Amino acid sequence: MKILAFTDTHADIEDLEKIKSKALKEKPDIIVCCGDISVFGNGLNFALSFINDLKIKTLIVKGNHETSKALEDACSRFKNIINISNAGTFELDNYLFFGYGNNGFSHVDEKFERLSSKFIKTFDSSKKLIFITHAPIYNTKLDKLPVGHCGSLSSRKFVEKVYPVLTLCGHFHETFKVKDKIKNCLIINPGPDGMIIEI
C-alpha cells in the first residue's frame, strides 16, 4: 500500500501544492492528515477543499487547531474526506486505520484510554493496524524537545498493546520528517509537505 501522509500544514498553500504534486506523481492509495490542517479553524474549508479535489480518499484526525465540531461539520461537505478523530476506523485491503485526534499537550488522555480499550477488545488481529493521531508517541525521537519528552503516554500504552505496523503523528514542528520504532511499529511525523510511505 502507498500512503501519502502529512501533518500541520496550517492551510499553507505552498505545502498544499507540494502535497498535490506528490499525489499526482506517486498516485497513492490513500491520503492521511494527522491534524492541524488549519490555523485555529481559519483556512479549514479551503485546505479540505484543496485536498478533496485530489479525488483520493483522505483520512483526517483533528489537531489542537481544530475543534471536533468544526472539523466534523467541514468534513461532511467533502465526499473524499473521512474524519476518524473520535476512535474512528477505516478499512482498505487488509489494513485497518484507527484514528484519534487529540490536543497534543497531555501526557495522559483518559478519553482515549477508554476508547482505545474498547477498540482493543474487538480488534481483529489478522488485520494490519495503522494508528493515526496528532500528538507524538511518548519517549520516542518524535516527542523529544529541549525540555524533555513531551508526547502522549496514553498513545504509547496503546501502541505497546497492539503494535501497529505504522503510527503516523504530528504536532511538534521540531520533529517533522523524524522516524522511530517501538519494536516492529514504525512511527513517523510526515511533516507539512507530505511524505510517501510504502508498506
C-alpha cell at position 29: 492509495
What number is the average pLDDT over the span 143-164? 94
Does 78 score more than 90 pLDDT?
yes
What number is the average pLDDT over the span 177-194? 98
pLDDT at 145: 92
What is the extent of the structural domain holding 167?
2-198
At residue 150 the predicted structure's pLDDT band, cuts being 50, 70 and 90, is very high
What number is the average pLDDT over the span 120-132? 96
Q: How far is CA 192 from each of CA 6, 37, 39, 59, 152, rounded to the nearest angstrom?
A: 5, 9, 13, 15, 20
Total domains in the chain come to: 1
What number is the average pLDDT over the span 136-150? 93
What number is the average pLDDT over the span 88-117? 94
Query: How does pLDDT run across 16-63, given as a tens digit for each residue?
Result: 999 999 999 999 999 999 999 999 999 999 999 999 999 999 999 999
Show Cβ contacts of residue 57 under 8 Å, excluding neighbours closer than 6 positions: 30, 31, 80, 82, 92
Indicate which CATH number applies to the domain containing 173: 3.60.21.10
Average confidence score pLDDT of the chain: 97
Does 104 score more than 80 pLDDT?
no
